[in-house]
Amino acid sequence: MWRRRTRRQRIHLVAAAVLTVIAFLLTGWPVLLVLVPLLTLGLPALLSDPPNRDVEVLEALDRWVRALAASLPTGKSVTDAIRATAGQAPERIRGPVQLMVVRLDSRWTSREALLALADDLDSPDADAVIAALVLSARRGGVGAATTLGELADSIQSRLRALREIEAERAKPRVVVRQVTLISVVALGLAMLMQPHFFAPYRSPIGQVVLGSLLLSYAGSLVVMRNITRPRRRERILRPLAAPVPGAVGDA
C-alpha cells in the first residue's frame, strides 16, 4: 500500500503523523490522535480548487481543432485531417481521438466515429464542438476549413466565459483558505503562550466539545466545496446507440 503512494502523498502522510504526535505530546488530548490526521489530510483537499473537467476538455479540443483547421488547406478531407493530427491532440483527449481513428480505419462513418468520440468525452461543451465537426465532415473542402476556423473562435469565447465563472467560484475558497490559515496560526500561538485558556478542553466533555467544533468546521468546508463545485450539465448530443458494422466511410 505504501509503495503505491506517490512521493507527495508519502510526505503528506509522514507530516500528518509527525503533527499528530507533536500535538498529543504538547496537549495530552486523546481526541487529537484522531482529529489531527483527519484535518491534516482532509483540509488541503477541501480547500483546493476542484478540477473543472469541462474546461480541461474544451482547452484540449481548442488546440486540436486549430491543428485540424491548419491541415485542411493542404487538400486533406476532414477525416484525413483527423488521422493526420491524432498524434498532435493534447494528452487530455489523445486517447479518445486515437480510438476514433481506429474506428475510422474499421470503416465507421465519420459521423459515427465523431459521435462515439462525443460519448467518450462525455461533456456538453465537447458536444457542441463535435456537432460542428460532423457538419464540417459533411461539407468538406473550403467550407470545412472556414467552419473549423469559426469553431476555433467560438471555443475561445466559450473558454473565456468558463474561466470568468471559475474565477468567481474561486473567490469564496480563497477567503476560506485565508481564514483557516489565520485561525490555525492564532490558535497555535494561543496554545503555546496561554495554555491555561484551553484547560476546559482537557476534561472528557471538553474533548467531545472540541471534536464537535472541529468536525463542524470541516463539515462547513464540505458544504462550501459542494456549493462552489462546477455543476454537471446535460449533454446536447444523444449517446450513439450502436455503430453500423462494416459501413462505408462518408468522408
Q: pLDDT (tens digit, 9 = 90+) per residue, 9-51?
A: 777 778 878 888 887 787 778 888 888 888 888 888 888 887 7
Q: In whole angstroms, how large is the CA radius of gyration of the chain?
A: 26
Tens of pLDDT, residue by residue over 174-227, are: 888 888 889 888 887 887 788 788 888 888 888 888 888 888 888 888 888 888
Please tell me whether the overall predicted TM-score, pTM, comes out greater than 0.75 for this model: no
Residue 238, helix vs strand vs coil: coil
* pLDDT of amino acid 140: 63
Tens of pLDDT, residue by residue over 115-153, are: 999 899 888 888 888 888 888 787 765 567 777 778 888
The residue written with cell numbers 480510438 in the block is 99
How many Cβ atoms sit within 10 Å of the Cβ of residue 148?
A: 23
Tens of pLDDT, residue by residue over 39-83, are: 888 888 888 887 788 888 889 988 988 888 888 776 677 888 888
Q: Does domain 53-163 have CATH number 3.40.1000?
A: no
Report the C-alpha gap between 8 and 10 in whole angstroms. 5
Report the C-alpha gap between 171 and 148 in whole angstroms. 35
Residues 6+ apart with CB under 8 A from 218: 38, 39, 42, 43, 46
The residues spanned by each domain of the chain are 7-50+169-228, 53-163
* pLDDT of amino acid 244: 46
Tens of pLDDT, residue by residue over 153-167, are: 888 888 898 888 888
Cell output for 53: 473537467
Own/partner pairs for 15-21, CB < 8 Å, 24+ apart? 15/40, 16/40, 16/41
